[in-house]
Structure 1
């Protein structure tokens, strides 16, 4: 296609979009709705995964020491274990103070201070991967200086099951919604092409090449997809910003912190723009083929 034909195709696309403005608006609106649903699902998935990671990162092993042992030796051995991220020593005095603050009235525990303190020294060990917690806990439990370990074995096992199930559910729903969006966008563009099939037939009978006929429709589809996706992103951004702001100011922020890092949100928005534009162009491409066989 030479430069003149290329410019003419662009003019045709602009003229067609202007002439069929209502159809273009409806098409872009439907594309926006489709991609807003997909984008909303992706944002929910991102935040759920973040919540799971936060919960997993807070899984720790409490290592209770026997009376009178050398804590520094145990600390070195624990810190050298593969998968250990941090290892914090909590003396019996600090443990009693923390417990007193939890009770809300430190005076209730004054009789337990000093030699009467029944609490043992302990280490709080954080692990990089929750799946390694059980193995590391068993190794530490075998140390002669260790009285017992506690890491909420049932809770960790349950967490692993929930994580696995959620990943499977989100994968199935994600693929289904993405395929649904592709199907809907392709058919929306197809309806737009069907409404102009007479125009295609006339151009074909006048000797226009398939490429010359197809290109304006391809360009129009991509423009409509880009416009629809842009609208979807603006709406999603405004809604997500309000929801994230409300959650951040709410007491729930202690349990759930919404993702606000643009480096993690931007790939979703950029991906939607690229996907919406390409899917709309693809819809135009496959829809116009039928009417080129004249």
Structure 2
């Protein structure tokens, strides 16, 4: 393929965009809207997963012990807990440490707990974490069977609902992304097909004069790539500006909510959307041209 042919392809693609400006604008607009919806959904699903993962990682089991458990039994219990399936870490919390932590949580009002130092009612306990949040309920059931255990707490009921919610969010979020991606491709294909249909006679004449499928297809493919890249670029700029503005507002107004703020992750999503716009334009053109190249 020589330089003159490449110039011809680009010249025809640009002429086609200018000649069919309304259809070109419609194609770019469709790509922008499709990628805005898709990109917003991807970021929403990412943040829901991130928040869910943060909550899951903070889940822990507290095992309260009976008062008559001696130091030798404590050491034996700690070893038994480590062998419970799914347990990743075990931390012993003495009643003195538990009281100190409670005073710290009261801050300036810790003086009201001063009377508890002589007769500390808090029990010794173990603070346990598992390798994954899904193992918390089963591990808790296993821990309840150990000798010397008074009570096991892990947020029973709430944890199960949280795990169920995050499970369905991951499933439906992934399905939504796939459906929107497919819908975007067909929307672009339909719009570009209108442009190709308006020039069906031109394509037919070129084919009858001996033009190869590649020669006919390339200007349209380049046109689709240009339109897709333009739409993708606009969508990426809008999403980038909007998401960064949202992050700044959340940090100021809701500092306890952590959203995805890793620049690498964000730019990977934006780069993927830009590449998807390019691919959608090319794929839409390819799908649209199949019918008209059969002359």
TM-score, structure 1 as length reference: 0.88
Map of 1:250 onto structure 2? 253
Q: Residue 56 of structure 1: CA displacement? A: 0.9
Q: Residue 181 of structure 1: CA displacement? A: 1.2
Aligned partners of 2:35, 2:192: CA distance in 1, in Å? 14
Task: Please state if 1:143 is matched with 2:143.
Answer: no
Which of 172, 185, 188 matches 2:188? 185
Aligned partners of 1:196, 1:95: CA distance in 2, in Å? 79
Which of 232, 237, 240 matches 1:237? 240
Map of 2:212 onto structure 1? 209
Which of 106, 111, 116 matches 1:107? 111
Task: Please state if 1:94 is matched with 2:97.
Answer: yes
Map of 1:280 onto structure 2? 281
Q: Residue 118 of structure 1: CA displacement? A: 0.5
Q: Residue 98 of structure 1: CA displacement? A: 3.0
Deviations 1:207-264 (A, max 9, x none): 322221111101110121111111111110110111112112223x32x211011332
RMSD over aligned Cα atoms: 2.3
Aligned partners of 1:60, 1:225: CA distance in 2, in Å? 48
**Alpha carbons 1:186, 1:282 under 8 Å: kept:** yes
Of 57-66 and 138-147, more deviation after overlay is shown by 138-147
- What secondary structure sits across from 2:151 in the alignment? strand
Unmatched tracts of structure 2, length 5 or more = none
Unmatched tracts of structure 1, length 5 or more = none
Q: Residue 197 of structure 1: CA displacement? A: 2.9
Q: Residue 124 of structure 1: CA displacement? A: 1.4
Map of 1:41 onto structure 2? 41
**Alpha carbons 1:69, 1:145 under 8 Å: kept:** no
**Alpha carbons 2:84, 2:142 under 8 Å: kept:** no
Aligned residues: 291
Which of 170, 175, 188 matches 1:172? 175
Of 1-10 and 138-147, more deviation after overlay is shown by 1-10
Aligned partners of 2:212, 2:106: CA distance in 1, in Å? 83
Aligned partners of 2:87, 2:152: CA distance in 1, in Å? 15
